[in-house]
Amino acid sequence: MSTFRLQNTAVALALFASTLTSLAQPAPLPRVVQGLPGSVQPIAPGYRAGQALPTLTLKTPIPGVRKIEYLSNGFIEVAHVLITLPTGGSRDAAALLTAQRAVTATWLARATLSEVDVSVYGAGSYAGFGGPPPIMTASVPATRQAEFAGLTVRTLSGYDRAWLASAAQPIRISPAEAYEGPETGPTYVGSARQALAQQRAQRLSGLRGSRTDSSVFYQGDPGTRQIALTFDDGVHPLYEPLILDALKRSGARATFFIVGRNALAYPYFVRDIVTQGHEVANHTYHHVRLPSLTAATIRDELTSTDVLLTGLTGQDIRFFRPPGGRFSGKVLDIARSEGLITAMWTDDPGDFNNIGQAVVENSLLSHLRPGGIVLLHENVPDTIRIMGDFVNDARAGRYQLVTLAELAGPK
């Protein structure tokens, strides 16, 4: 079995010309910090480290509060409080009490915040976002400060923007076996003959402006002036309310490819996406590279995420995107058998490489095309900051920003 990298071939150069010409080829690849298999999903992994977000310092420190970061989308500011607590004792009560004190203190430190999100982890197992799951999470809009401050463990279930691990339904899923490094272009893993067949199908679909194979979606109809915005790797505290606010202000709709383990701990953000008119889609449970996994594990990664997302939103999940863009015939077959359409993209400005606002925005605008599918990541500050301008510029170019389901048309 050989690995055949599409983006290194002449055909792929044509297919992904926009991606390749918009970025100086980064080389060599950086060393990736390894984590436990499937356990670590770095924030915006890329060729360059992201800029640190601004932080707040509390006048009176609160034990357990590790960091308070905040970010603006140009209209509103949102903060995220990271708390770690020793395990043992009445953990839920301690988590809630510390979260309440920290949220109140955060608003005292910065009154202009529109929302404060909070994640509480066990101190002994904390390994960053994507490590072992938190004990508790909450999202507190400014209008609900008093309500959150008055909650007890007993009344917490009545607050729809909090999650407690001890009260969550367990998700049955086999442990993931692969570690996901920085994202790359779509990469077909298989024999050279299989890769050529895949390229041919993709090239034909591009020429025709639709899919030749109904289980894979590469591009919308070039006869319409519609573009699908897609955001991968959600959902995240801090970033989710900012990106949803930017989209709401501009009236654009988008599709969010969500990692199951993130949806589990931040279910209220998944519901926000759908209630605001956007679409949720499947990006596996652990954000792992699929081709090297067993068929049973691949199926588990897809179905557990579908079950979770459907349970939260009541919607059938129609689209799936393989993490890192790595797919194979086996991955496509399993997705198809689960009723999922594998969704690729026409434009990848490489926002996760932290290449700067202007570069991302120029790359996006210079490659706008009818029927295009734009790949972005919601947890990249540059992407958050340019979203308002980008949507306005796309509108000025008479483009309509729609979900993948709208771009694909009825089933």
Nearer CB in complex with Zn ion: 237/323: 323
Select which of 117, 232, 348, 351 is catalytic. Answer: 232
The amino acid present at 193, given as its one-letter code, is: R
Over the window 314 to 353, marking each residue x when it contacts Zn ion by CB under 5 A and - when it does not, the resulting string is ---------x------------------------------
CB 336 within 8 A of CB 330: no
C-alpha dihedral, 341 to 342 to 347 to 350, nearest 10°: 140
Nearer CB in complex with Zn ion: 300/348: 348
Nearer CB in complex with Zn ion: 70/256: 256
Site membership for Zn ion, residue 232 (CB under 5 A): yes
Smallest distance from Zn ion to CB 283, Å: 6
Residue ranges with strand state E in 11-111:
65-72, 77-85
Nearer CB in complex with Zn ion: 26/182: 182
What is the C-alpha separation between 343 and 86, in angstroms, rounded?
A: 42
Nearer CB in complex with Zn ion: 130/323: 323
Select which of 80, 236, 278, 377 is catalytic. Answer: 377
Nearer CB in complex with Zn ion: 232/301: 232
Contacts of 403 (CB under 8 A, 6+ apart): 228, 253, 254, 255, 278, 279
CB 263 within 8 A of CB 312: yes
- Which span sits near Zn ion by CB under 5 A: 206-214, 229-237, 289-297, 356-364? 229-237
The sign of the CA dihedral 19, 21, 26, 28 is positive
Q: Which tokens go with 253?
A: 């709709």
Smallest distance from Zn ion to CB 305, Å: 12
What is the C-alpha separation between 74 and 124, in angstroms, rounded?
A: 37
| Residue whose Cβ sits closest to Zn ion | 232
Instruction: Say what angle helices 381-396 and 239-250 make with each other, to 10 degrees.
Output: 10
The 3-state DSSP class for residue 269 equals helix
- Interface residue with Zn ion, options 233, 245, 348, 382 (CB under 5 A): 233
Nearer CB in complex with Zn ion: 42/388: 42
What is the C-alpha separation between 20 and 161, in angstroms, rounded?
A: 41
Active site residue 232: yes
* Number of residues binding to Zn ion, judged by CB under 5 A: 3
Q: Which tokens go with 244?
A: 């949803």
CB 367 within 8 A of CB 18: yes
The sign of the CA dihedral 204, 205, 206, 209 is positive
Q: Which tokens go with 358?
A: 């202007």
Smallest distance from Zn ion to CB 323, Å: 4
- Which span sits near Zn ion by CB under 5 A: 2-10, 168-176, 230-238, 399-407? 230-238
Nearer CB in complex with Zn ion: 70/218: 218
Smallest distance from Zn ion to CB 300, Å: 18
Active site residue 236: no
CB 380 within 8 A of CB 351: yes
3-state secondary structure 294-344: CHHHHHHHHHHHHHHHHHHHCCCCCEECCHHHEECHHHHHHHHHCCCEEEC
- Which span sits near Zn ion by CB under 5 A: 70-78, 136-144, 226-234, 387-395? 226-234
Smallest distance from Zn ion to CB 233, Å: 4
Contacts of 219 (CB under 8 A, 6+ apart): 205, 206, 209, 210, 211, 346, 371, 372, 373
Q: Which residues bind Zn ion (CB under 5 A)?
A: 232-233, 323
Q: Which residues are designated catalytic? A: 232, 377
